[in-house]
Copies of this chain bind each other. A is one copy, B any other.
């Protein structure tokens, strides 16, 4: 994991600032021959796109993606496919309002990375947060769209919000079909109104609130990931924690596992046709860093947006003590638009794990009860 590149074999290098001319990424290592159009990527970008409702930033960005390289028509099918060479994606910024930010050109907003960038680099593009802006996550979502194409239809990566502020969903009411029926990716229909009221209160107060996103990947075969420092769960943890505002990551039972007994925690097995049938999934689909064939389940906690309208104490580049409020157009709850980003990161980790597994073993998995076995 270098500074701006993610992944080992499926490699995503992102670039761009919030108020620069454009942002984008280069996706390297994609297998050849995979059908891919800009429209297929756009579908996912539209989910993360700002300006869609009153609970997300009002910045109007079409986030229209262009494919600049790495695809070509397949002379057999006539369709556009990946060629195995790097796929360069570009999204132009169109609705920058840099004047909103002149006040923070030399001030450090509390909870933001302003001071950290200053301390490290001495110079920073303060407009919209520059490189620290969550606009960078558009490139992640675009890359995630390619990762999904690599994973194929047998694997589904889907996310839901399970908590906003202090309000957690009731898992007994979990319904994946609900997730696309409300603006919050909420799987619990009874929670939608609660969140709506909470967010309305937060928004009117010029405040913000945190959230927890859960991502589930179904259809992941056993054998992906690798021991020790290539563990699938460790890669997921690093990937999810690299998202702006993330403060915690869990796999399976997560922190709750600390309070369990060994009998409660370890998932028992019965014989299945193609690997064990597990009787529970506290492991979140990963044991010893390797997938088991169960659904891979991860959660990521997002802190509340640091851009709020309340006056807060801080300092500036001259070391003067100041009070400032953060104007501009901001999400009151970054977790909402963080959901498709978290999905994208899980998809990227899985695509990378797939290629790494195929490299070392040829792909596939050994199955109990089968001779010759792969």
Contact = CB atoms under 8 A, between A and B. Distances in A.
B15 A8 contact: no
Within the oligomer, what is the number of copies of this chain?
A: 4
B360 A287 contact: no
Interface stretch (A151-159, A177-185, A237-245): A237-245
29 contacts: A1-B238, A3-B227, A4-B26, A9-B359, A13-B86, A15-B68, A15-B70, A31-B362, A32-B120, A32-B361, A72-B123, A75-B123, A84-B121, A111-B267, A112-B287, A113-B290, A119-B290, A119-B366, A122-B366, A207-B261, A207-B262, A229-B242, A233-B247, A237-B240, A248-B258, A249-B249, A262-B307, A268-B314, A319-B368
Interface string A210-241: 11100000000011111111110111111111
Interface stretch (A40-48, A50-58, A277-285): A277-285
Contacts of A358: 358-359, 362
A367 interface: yes
A113 B287 contact: yes
A101 interface: no
A208 interface: yes
A202 B264 CA distance: 13
B229 A233 contact: no
Contact of A303 (B227, B282, B303, B360): B282
Given A234-B241, A276-B315, A115 B228 contact: no
Interface string A1-41: 11111101101011111001111101011111100000000
A306 B266 contact: yes
Contact of A238 (B238, B259, B321): B238
A23 to B, nearest CB: 7
Given A74-B123, A75-B123, A88-B24, A253 B247 contact: yes
Interface in A153-196: 163-166
A106 B166 contact: no
A363 B31 CA distance: 11
A229 B359 CA distance: 19
A1 B132 contact: no
B234 A1 contact: yes
Interface in A62-121: 66, 68-70, 72, 74-75, 81, 83-88, 105-106, 108-113, 115-121
Contacts of A110: 266-269
Interface in A299-322: 301-308, 310, 312-321
B13 A5 contact: yes
B16 A88 contact: yes
